[in-house]
Amino acid sequence: MSKLRGKHQGLDFDSALIEANRINHAKHSSINFECFDLLKPTTKYGTFDAVISMDVIEHFHKEQIPQVVKSYRGLVGQSGFAVIGTPNSASAPYASARRKATHLHEMGPEEFQEVLSKEFGRVFMFSMTDETVSTSFNKMAWYLIGVCVP
């Protein structure tokens, strides 16, 4: 891990993961880990220059996703950005049993961009297949990434 400047916040719903991170990263005093529920937005943390959320949004029901995106937006400062990633629903037929059981709502590129655009002023869409990130044909990508700015 490179040297971090300033204070960094790790937030997750899973208290066991938070505790494991506290133990595993105890030597990094600039990182704080806390439990956080995206369905219960708070101003406790203020805003951040960058919010990174990979493999999270698909674990919510479709009707909950607008609130999740609203929470992401609430965490991003006016000059900040969010990077939000999720598996493409087009790859679901090839998914593992665990993925199928735990991903409550996966989205395709159009739905993903639409839901992010409701809270963010600009959304730049990227796709990833075989560890290559691009702006190419996202309908067949395995993974979708939205870089979102206010």
CB 125, CB 101: distance < 8 Å? no
Q: What percent of the chain has pLDDT over 90?
A: 81
Residue indicated by tokens 């679901």: 92
The pTM (predicted TM-score) of the whole model is 0.90
Please, which pLDDT band fits residue 4 given cuts at 50, 70 and 90?
A: very low
Tell me the torsion sign for CA atoms 40, 35, 56, 50.
Answer: positive
Please, which pLDDT band fits residue 42 given cuts at 50, 70 and 90?
A: confident
User: In terms of C-beta density within 10 A (0-12 exposed, 13-18 middle, 19 or more buried), how is residue 150 classed?
Assistant: middle
pLDDT at site 5: 53
pLDDT at site 106: 98
Nearest CA-CA partner of 50 in 14, 113, 7: 7
The rounded mean pLDDT for the chain is 92
> Side chain identity at 80, as an amino acid letter?
G
Assess whether pLDDT exceeds 90 at residue 136: no
Tell me what the mean pLDDT of segment 69-90 comes to: 96
pLDDT at site 78: 94
Please, which pLDDT band fits residue 120 given cuts at 50, 70 and 90?
A: very high
pLDDT at site 126: 96
* Eight-state DSSP code of residue 23: H
pLDDT digits (tens, 9 = 90+) for 82-115: 999 999 999 999 999 999 999 999 999 999 999 9
Assess whether pLDDT exceeds 90 at residue 29: no
